[in-house]
Each structure stands twice: as structure tokens, then as C-alpha cells.
Copies of this chain bind each other. A is one copy, B any other.
Amino acid sequence: MIDEISVVYLESFQERRLKDPILIEGLPGIGQVGKLVAEYMIRQLGAEKVGEIHSIYFPPQVILDENGLARLARNELFLYSTEEKDFLFLVGDHQSASSEGHYILADHYCELAAELRVKRIYTLGGFGVGHLVNEPRVLGAANQAGLREEIEAAGVVFTRAEPGGGIVGAAGLILGLSAPRGIEAVCLMGETSGYIVDPMAAASVLAVLSKLTGIPVDATRLNDRAAEMEKVIESMVEDGKGKDEELSYIG
């Protein structure tokens, strides 16, 4: 019988001793904000792939690469090492397709983190507000009260948008499921309309995460992409206005 979840590490990784490892989760979600940030960092930093995760809780499909090569939907682990610290990135194609699967996968990620002696986890996501955002703030949540001050100092806003609000999926569950394992976890959410893949929100989250982790990441290309996106949206809004004027003139 197929395993519910299977994790395969690079052999060289298994023998490695990680230095005060930090885990950064950026799976698909609102505005693809978390995914954009984590994948951008992996590319900019040249992080190396060290593990692959498959699960029957992912949607039942394969992904094709540009050469028609098929592979199962998967999540991946990447490693970036500095002199003092190791940074793990958890990225991938999908989150769980079922409610129970979300719990089972997130718990598995936290178990992996515990085995790898991860000290802190950053989960990245978007915070959908339903309208365009000019200067997206980064909202925060944490699984220990003591973390707030440090995170706020990096420019993150701790405010509940709605009473009783929550965080759905991996970015939230990892906070809850890592707490009893003694792992600090912080969720960073870039404000986003929620309607588009949002590099502007991603740039805001990247700036904060860069400060918090002390990893210098050249944000130029992400900022460029955000600037382009901004122009596209502006021109769409302009076009919209133009039409309205014409219409009111005609009317």
C-alpha cells in the first residue's frame, strides 16, 4: 500500500549536522505570496535541493516540465547554509486536497522540523483584503507570546483584522502543531487583494524576512516584477476611468 506521506532526503543531507536550522515555508496560497517569496529566495541564494515529499493528500496529478517529463505533484526541501546557520525552505506544487490531509501533512512537516532540530519556523502567506493595496503591510502571527516584540521591530503589524479570524492551511497549522514540540514559529502575511499572483505583497514579505533572518537577498528582480505588475494594474485602472469618462460624455 502506498504511504500516506513519503519523504526522501538527499543522501549527503542525511549525514549532515545542521547549524541552528531555520525552516521557511512558502507553499501555494492566497496571492501565491508565500510561494513567490520562498522560491525567489531559493533562486537568488542558490539553495540546493535536499528532499522531496509526496503524498496521497496532494491532488491526484502529475506536473509536466517543458520537455514533457512528468513527475508527481510534490513538495520540496531546499538548503541554504551560511557560516552560522542553516536555512531550510519548504516549497511545492500544492497543499492538501482534503481537510484531514492538511493536519496530517502539517504535522509531518513539524515532525521533520523537530527531527532536524529546527529552532524556528517562518511560514509565509498572503492576507486577502479584497481590494488593491498600494503599500502592502506585512501582518504577523506567532505561536509564542515572547516572539512578538522581535517581529514587530522588523516592521510587522500584529493586528487581528477580524475578531475570531484565523489562518487556514499549512501556514497556520504549522504554527499550532510546532508549539507543543517547542519550536518557535512566526507567520508573515503580505497584504494582497487575493485576486492575482502578487509580487508586490511578496516584496514586502521578503524585506521583512530578510531583516529577521539576517539573510541579505537582492530583491531587485522581485521589485522589478512588482513594479511591472503595478504599471499593468495602473493602466487597467486608467483604461477603466477612460471608458467611464467616455460613457458619461456620451450619456
Q: Which residues of A contact B (CB under 8 A)?
A: 1-2, 4, 56-57, 59-73, 96-104, 106-108, 139-145, 148, 158-160, 164-169, 172-173, 175-177, 179, 187
Contact across chains for B100 and A62 when beta carbons are under 8 A apart: no
Known A56-B104, A104-B56; contact A143-B69, beta-carbon cutoff 8 A: yes
Contact A62 B175 (CB under 8 A): yes
| Cβ B67 vs Cβ A168 within 8 A | no
Q: Please, how many angstroms separate the alpha-carbon atoms of A101 and B59 in the complex?
A: 11
Query: Which applies to chain A's interface (DSSP): helix, strand, loop or mixed?
Result: mixed
Q: Which of B56, B101, B159, B176 contacts A72 (CB under 8 A)?
A: B176
Taking the closest CB of chain B, its distance from the CB of A81, in whole angstroms, is 28
The answer to whether B142 touches A103, judged by C-beta atoms less than 8 angstroms apart, is no
User: Pick the contact of A140 from B68, B164, B175 — CB < 8 Å?
Assistant: B68
Pairwise interchain contact B60-A169, C-beta atoms closer than 8 A: yes
Out of B63, B97, B103, B167, which one reaches A99, CB within 8 Å?
B97
Distance of A39 from chain B, by nearest CB (Å): 13
Shortest Cβ gap from A157 to chain B (Å): 9
With both chains docked as a complex, state the minimum distance between the C-beta of A202 and any C-beta of chain B, in angstroms: 17
Pair B67/A148 contact, Cβ less than 8 Å: yes
Q: Which residues of the partner chain B approach A98 to less than 8 Å between Cβ atoms? A: 99-100
Known: A2-B103, A56-B104. A158 touches B62 (CB 8 A): no
